[in-house]
Amino acid sequence: MPARQADPKLAPMPCVLAIGGLDPGGGAGLAADLRAFAAAGAFGCAAIAVLTVQSTAGLRAARALPARDVVAQAAEVLRHQRVRAVKVGALGSDANVRAVARLLAKHPGVPLVLDTPMTATRGAARLLAARAIAALRDELVPLATLVTVNADEAAVLAGEPVRTVGEAHDAALAIARLGAAAVLVKGGHLSGASATDVLVVDGEVTELRARRIAAPAVHGTGCTLASLVAGRLARRATARVESATLVDAVRWAKRVHHAALVRAADVGGAMRVLVFAGPAGLPARH
């Protein structure tokens, strides 16, 4: 029987490139990124910047790869594949932050969603060296289409405590002044009856509220949310990311993320993980 021919009328599929840490347990890092990209209807690519020893029991150790190896992986994908968005996560070292910033500065038309994991929720190992924070603030944040931070990370970048929604407003605006087009301060660690995220786009502040979920701890929530946004942006119809498009992408990602939290899977260990049944509410083809 002759082989079936591919349908030439099928629309080209957008790629999203994740640069970050490899979690062998699959709950966080690049494994979580790839699941989120698929849920958004994009093809996931991955460049390893940090090797970790971790599982759903927590982070045991982390080691940054040499910057030349990180850049070689990412540059190869950017050169040959249809990369329509980049998501950056754990980079480990000062050298990796600077090298990735230099590489992405050569691709200003590709939206960058910058997640900023510095330490793990469980475990003492660092995902970003303390000496790399200045480079993150000065070289990567100004390139970002969207920076996503939890309260602790926002406090480090803004230089002020972030314990309330009001302080999250101030921190988001302060991080935006570093040059990011938009900032999302996640409210999971803030006090209050609801989890309130603070989104700043073009100087406008929006609060995104969701009911808190009484459930066991979940691994990889930050990675997944940022990657859902990146996957959604990769499917945008135009090259330039308009403010409304970005806000829509964040709102969509929040809905999908919240639904996944409700049904977080138990795969063993102390923390649950986020899974998706398939593409979640795909936008129209472009």
- For every residue of 11-51, DSSP letters joined together read PPPPEEEEEEEE-TTSSSHHHHHHHHHHHTT-EEEEEEEEE
**The pLDDT of residue 195:** 80
Assess whether pLDDT exceeds 50 at residue 211: yes
Q: Is residue 265 part of a domain?
A: yes
- 286 pLDDT tier (thresholds 50, 70, 90): very low
Instruction: Classify residue 5: in a domain, yes or no.
Output: no
Mean per-residue pLDDT, 72-90? 98
**pLDDT of amino acid 122:** 73
- What pLDDT shows up at residue 60? 94
> Residue 131 in 3-state DSSP?
helix
**pLDDT for position 281:** 43
Whether 8 is covered by a domain: the verdict is no
- Global confidence as pTM: 0.92
Q: How many domains is the chain built from?
A: 1
| Residue 250: partners with Cβ closer than 8 Å, 6 or more residues away | 146, 184, 199, 208, 229
Would the pLDDT of 26 be above 50? yes
**Which residue would you say has higher pLDDT here, 89 or 203?**
89
Q: Which residues partner with 119 through β-bridges?
A: 126
CATH number at residue 200: 3.40.1190.20
The whole domain housing 141 covers 15-273
Give residue 90's pLDDT.
97
Whether residue 227 is contained in a domain is answered as: yes
Rounded to 5 degrees, φ, ψ at 102 are -65, -40
Residue 42, in any domain of the structure: yes
Alpha helices in the chain (DSSP H): 29-39, 67-80, 94-105, 133-135, 151-158, 165-176, 221-234, 243-262
C-alpha to C-alpha distances, 154 to 44, 68, 201, nearest whole angstrom: 27, 29, 16
Q: What SS3 class is residue 184?
A: strand
Question: What average pLDDT does this structure show over 227-232?
Answer: 97
Which pLDDT score is estimated for 97? 98
Structural domain includes residue 193: yes
Q: What pLDDT score was predicted for residue 9?
A: 63
On whether residue 82 sits in a domain, the answer given is yes
Whether residue 57 lies inside any domain: the answer is: yes
